[in-house]
Amino acid sequence: MPESVEKVPIKLKVNGRLHALSVEPRMLLVQLLREELDLTGTHVGCDTTYCGACTVLMNDAAVKSCTMFAVQADGAEIVTVEGLEKDGQLHPIQKAFGDSYGLQCGYCTPGLMLSALQLLSRNKQPSEKEIRKAIAGNTCRCTGYQNILKAIQLAAQNMKGA
């Protein structure tokens, strides 16, 4: 591996804020978010494209940020869990996860909420089957998923008309 790698300038919007920075081409998007921008809500679980703890939205599509290079997000709009809350108000998805006990240790929760956000922004009234499919790429080792399903159903209800 080369000792020093030439950095690449990139510009990207994260949670509505424009950032211009220089990154090593081998840096992963999740490292950029956590280590350069200090947005540590996005977690690294398995680091093998399995668990989905690192899920963020890139241009409105859920992606595993451990399986993308930061330079690939040049020009993109990223939403992380820190971008869900608006003006001190929890996002309906965040509120529903709390109200439905959709989390225990909370490690997988940011990723699950971003997967839920992709689903609910494209499908206002998802069936249980559709919810299950939408979160199939997010592993939770605590809840058994039942309350996560309830949380997303509740969020869908509360987001109606929004």
Binding site for another protein (CB under 8 A): 1-2, 25, 28, 47-52, 55, 61-64, 67-69, 71-72, 74, 115, 118, 133-134, 136-139
Instruction: Quote the least distance from Cβ 52 to another protein, whole Å.
Output: 6
Q: Angle at the Cα of 28 (from 141 to 116), degrees rounded to 5?
A: 45
Burial class (CB in 10 A: 0-12, 13-18, 19+), 87: exposed
Q: Which lies closer to another protein via its Cβ, residue 98 or residue 144?
A: 144
In whole angstroms, how far apart are CA 95 and each of 81, 98, 127, 153? 13, 5, 20, 12
Instruction: Quote the least distance from Cβ 63 to another protein, whole Å.
Output: 5
Residue 16 φ/ψ, nearest 5 degrees: 85, -10
Instruction: Quote the least distance from Cβ 29 to another protein, whole Å.
Output: 10
The owner of tokens 């080369």 is 2
Q: Which lies closer to another protein via its Cβ, residue 2 or residue 161?
A: 2
Q: Which lies closer to another protein via its Cβ, residue 25 or residue 98?
A: 25
Contact residues for 3 (Cβ-Cβ < 8 A; gap 6+): none
Q: Which lies closer to another protein via its Cβ, residue 52 or residue 92?
A: 52
Instruction: Quote the least distance from Cβ 23 to another protein, whole Å.
Output: 14
